[in-house]
Structure formats: structure tokens, C-alpha cells
Amino acid sequence: MESKKAAIKPFLEVVQKMFEQDLGELLVLHRTDTKVYLGPLILDKSKISVKDAGLLPNIKVSDADPCFENGFLGCVCHTEGQEWDTLSFHGMELCDLPVSLSSTCHSTLVSAGNEYGENLSDFLGSVYRAFKLMLDNQFIPVLLLRNVRTKTGESGMAVTDLRMMPMEISLITDLNHVVRESVEKHLTSGVDDVEIHSDQFDELFADFIKD
């Protein structure tokens, strides 16, 4: 018996829902026939636009092609009932990939991880923790206005690696700083980060507990 998946929603409705969980805090890469845009999404009376932040000077439209064709890292979407109250990130292995994204370098993503044993390819958690994991593994994550569905039926936006784009080292450094700064301001230690069971609490904080 096949598991039931959520009904497919119009992409505009998906994006509007994501604004409830700080979608406007994340950078979006977008291109037209004449220009490449990088900046936050703006929602104004059900109309969505990309506010270019001037972060990609002298970048040609063709320079952005690899980000749209080969840079796929996963999917960001709105989910409910999770331990975190931010947007969720689903790694590549948890996404229902279209053929156009099949050329993503899977082995690189599998090897990208942290000291806690989390891997980028099958990561499921807060978008900010996921983006920090990417930054720590030399990726620069940004969103695309491309609809991607997870294997459990959620619909969200694709995440790509900005470093797929040919750029000067100085520009890579600047972009890395901008993205990291926007991510780390949301990463404060708290109950949303990790659950500590009562027995672990007694062990960890015994010296601070008085009879």
C-alpha cells in the first residue's frame, strides 16, 4: 500500500506559506535574460519579488548557469510539528529530484558532514543549522525559485551552491561572510537545538544542583 503524500500546492502558495517562517531572511538567486539577481524575497500583497542586494557585480547571466544546473544541495520548505520552529532543510537523498538536477555531485554531498555525525546528503532539520553545515564544508547556500518536493510530500524551494558560479576569490569571501552572518545570528543555544533527557541533565549539571 502506497503512503499518502500531501496534495500538490501551487508554487506561489508554497512560497507565501514559507514567509511565515522567515523566508525573507534567506538569499535567493534569480536570473532573467539580461541580469542575475541575488537578494531576499519580498512579499507585498500576494506579489513576490527578488530585491537585488548588489552582491554580484559584473556577473553575466551565463555565469549563473551552473548554479541552476549542477549546484543542487537540497530543499527548504515549511513543515509543522517539528522540534525546530524555523523552515526545514531536506538533504538531497530526502528529495524527489527532477531529472534536470540528477547531475549533482552526490559523492561530495555524502562526504560533507560535521563532528556530530550529521551528513548534508540526508540532513533533516532547521534551515539555519543546515546552512551552517554547508558553509563549514565550503558551500555557499542560496535558494532558487524552483519548486522541489520531498519524498514525504512537502513542497519547497531548491537550495544551490553559489560557489558553482565562476567568481573572483575576493567575491567568494564576501559572499561567504554575508551568508554566514545571516545564518549565525539565528543559531543561539536553546531548547530547540538538542533535547537533553532528565538523566543526562542530572549528570551534566550535577555540580550546579544543590539539595
Q: State how far the alpha carbon of 193 is from the alpha carbons of 41, 97, 132, 173, 183, in Å.
A: 26, 29, 13, 28, 14
Q: Residue 155: which residues within 8 A CB-CB, separation 6 or more?
A: 6, 8, 9, 11, 14, 77, 147, 148, 149
Tell me: pLDDT of 157 over 80: yes
Instruction: Tell me the three cell numbers of residue 86.
Output: 524555523
pTM given for the model: 0.78
Q: What is the mean pLDDT of the chain?
A: 79
In which band, very low, low, confident or very high, does the pLDDT at 206 lie, cut at 50, 70 and 90?
very low
pLDDT in tens, 14-54: 888 888 888 999 999 999 999 999 999 998 877 888 999 99
User: Looking at 20-29, 59-68, 75-84, 131-140, which range is the least confident one?
Assistant: 75-84
Q: State how far the alpha carbon of 57 is from the alpha carbons of 41, 47, 68, 100, 171, in Å.
A: 19, 26, 19, 28, 9
Residue spans of the domains in the chain: they are 11-189
Instruction: Tell me the three cell numbers of residue 36.
Output: 542575475
pLDDT in tens, 96-152: 876 454 455 544 444 455 555 567 888 999 999 999 999 998 899 999 998 889 998
Please give the backbone phi and psi of residue 158, each rounded to the nearest 5 degrees, phi first. Answer: -70, 150
**144 near 67, Cβ under 8 Å?**
yes
Percent of the chain at pLDDT > 70 equals 74
**158 near 148, Cβ under 8 Å?**
yes
Q: Is 185 helix (H, G, I), strand (E, B) or coil?
A: coil
pLDDT at 64: 95
